[in-house]
Chain A
Amino acid sequence: MSAIIQIKNVTKEFKVLNRREGLKGSLKDLFSRDYKIVRAVDNISMDIEQGEIVGYLGPNGAGKSTTIKMMTGVLEPTSGEILVGGNIPYQNRAKNAQEIGVVFGQRSQLWWALPLIESFKLLKDIYQISDSDYKSMMHLYQSLVDIEPLLHKPVRQMSLGQRTLSDILAAFLHNPKIVFLDEPTIGLDVSMKSKIRILINALNKEKNTTVILTTHDMGDVDALCRRIVIIDKGKMLYNNDIEHLKGFFGSYRTLKIRMDGDLKQQAEVIQKELPDFSVSADEEWISVLVDEEKSKVMEVLNQLQKSHEIRDMQLEEISTEDVIKKIYEEGVE
């Protein structure tokens, strides 16, 4: 079976006016034809299979939104090929729209003044959902979330969390093959975040919907994604399983120790003793990021115990967040 989303050597360039500074500069800009080409997405290729949840990550301005816009048909790629469910999105926007669902975390697509149930009914007509499909979807929703109190509330009166939840439900309503979620948990409290993650997971399992998720919250990634794609400055840095990611920079673990005295000063001393590893200190702990390929954590601990009096210690596995941070900062060699 071929992949539901196929992206081949896709590049997107924008023409941007070179802006000058100051008032005089703005006046000159009025008449200027001094454009530069900015490459927002640079030769990206990937295949995504039906039913996958893929985390699409990258720092701000990396080209994530541009890629999503190309997949949803809002933007046309400068070069390369995109096939979404067999369609070329830009050329067949309406047909593509029938098979995808889109949620932008901050921007509700529901009718602002209408109660949710009325929005659902309108979507039922717009997407031409059959009565039986609609009913079974509503049954599924009722079994997954406490939807009753939302149904008769105008979207305008909802909290951000309720609105995001509603937007996600609306995006899945016509049982699309693919759902794009752009920062769905942005600005939400911890319990709402977890509710939304559970919902996305359940809908993905139940309907085998492909989910493309962009987020800056590594909690989302850990809870949902089996595979992640990282891009920065338009280039793809990583495209593989999440397990794979942790071993990506060798096997790192963080050794945390507590000592008497000023931790900042102590940390500087330890840094000199352990030039291979990065040492930092906060209010309570001194952290040593140990690369286990160079030496084992226990050896480091032994060595430290010889010269310092250690009162307490902790061992932390490197988190997804740390790895991603390292990738953003250092790139991939």
Chain B
Amino acid sequence: MKRKGLGFYLRIYGKILAQDLKSKMSYRADFIISTIGMIFTNIAGFVSFWILFRNFPSINGWSYHEMLFLYGFSLVSLTPVQCFFDNNWSLRMYVYSGDFIKYCFRPINLFFYYQSEVFDIKGLGQLAFGLGTLIYSWTKIGLGFTPLILLKRVVFLLTASLIMIALQNASAATCFWIQNSFYVMDLVLKFKDYARYPITIFSPVFRFIFTFIMPIAFIAYYPSLVILRPNEVPLLSWLSPLIGCLFFWISYKFWMFGAMKYSGTGS
């Protein structure tokens, strides 16, 4: 048996993805309707945001465009979790019905095999919307496009994505212990909306929770500080790439621990 490295997994993922897209395209109505749905969801989110700022010109010293920046940032950083890890939402069903056992018999990483099965194409609409918002606010704030700032941008976007993925993995994996993890996942999904706002507007208690327990402040706020407020960057911002990797690793271990404990239902 040859060693299975990153190249092996990327090749497999590429092939599954290609096949999956091919079969998705064959359901044209479903594809179009879900794309339209995604666009409207994004527009609705944006409109409520816009109404808020019609009434308050700034929140806690953050201007409209800066807030828009945070908003776009959170949308873009949510794309990977939406595209690549959407199968987490079905996990509780597979576990409950016992179908999860079918993933246990392949000679490849269980977590990879499970997540690779679904690629959610709707995430791409969100990505386009988020990028548009980000670039618009970027030019309005007048941040400029130097290679360094771009590099920072990419690194911190990846960080934010990792944290979002970690949150979802961990909340989905609770279904290995409790019957219905939907409520946990839904709770996390709702909290994630707070990621769009600067954490300083919350009370100290929530600031603590959003930083250390449910680290949604790392999805947009801490990473954005590096670009928006280069003079007042707290240490936590610089540490966030590391924290992102750490949280992802912990959530992966937690997920795998649950999966290894899984024993299926009778047949």
Q: Which residues on A are within 8 Å of B, measured CB to CB?
A: 60-61, 65, 69, 72-75, 93-95, 97-98, 100, 102, 104, 106-109, 111, 113-114, 118, 121-122, 125-128, 154, 182-183
Contacts and interface: CB of A to CB of B under 8 A. Distances in A.
B19 A111 contact: yes
A109 B102 contact: yes
Contacts, number: 70
Nearest to B267: A65
Given A61-B266, A111-B117, A122 B16 contact: yes
A122 B17 CA distance: 11
- Size category of the B interface is 20 to 34
A69 B107 contact: no
A61 B108 CA distance: 31
Contacts of B102: 104, 107-109
A154 B23 CA distance: 9
Nearest to B103: A109
B62 to A, nearest CB: 45
A-B pairs, 6 with minimum CB distance: A97-B107, A113-B23, A98-B107, A109-B102, A102-B105, A94-B107
Contacts of B23: 113-114, 154
B267 A104 contact: yes
B107 A74 contact: no
Contacts of A183: 267
B226 interface: no
Nearest to A72: B105
Interface string B83-119: 0000000000000001101101111110000000100
19 contacts: A69-B263, A69-B264, A74-B104, A74-B264, A75-B263, A94-B107, A97-B105, A106-B267, A108-B102, A111-B19, A113-B20, A114-B20, A118-B19, A125-B12, A125-B15, A126-B106, A126-B107, A128-B1, A128-B2
B28 interface: no
B267 A125 contact: no
Give the secondary structure class of A's interface.
mixed
A106 to B, nearest CB: 7
Contact of B101 (A100, A107, A114, A127): A107
B108 A126 contact: yes
Contact of A93 (B1, B20, B104): B104
Nearest to B105: A102
A107 B104 CA distance: 13
Interface in B1-26: 1-2, 11-12, 15-16, 19-20, 23-24
A83 to B, nearest CB: 18
A126 B19 contact: no
Contacts of A107: 98-99, 101-102
A93 B159 CA distance: 32
A39 B117 CA distance: 36
A257 B182 CA distance: 63
Interface in B251-267: 262-264, 266-267
A96 to B, nearest CB: 8
A100 B106 CA distance: 9
Contacts of B107: 94-95, 97-98, 126-127
Nearest to A183: B267
Interface string B117-159: 1000000000000000000000000000000000000000000
A100 B105 contact: yes
A122 B267 contact: no
Contacts of B104: 72-74, 93
Given A111-B19, A125-B11, 19 more contacts: A74-B104, A74-B262, A74-B263, A74-B264, A97-B105, A104-B102, A107-B99, A107-B101, A109-B102, A111-B117, A113-B20, A113-B23, A114-B20, A118-B19, A122-B12, A125-B12, A126-B106, A126-B108, A128-B1
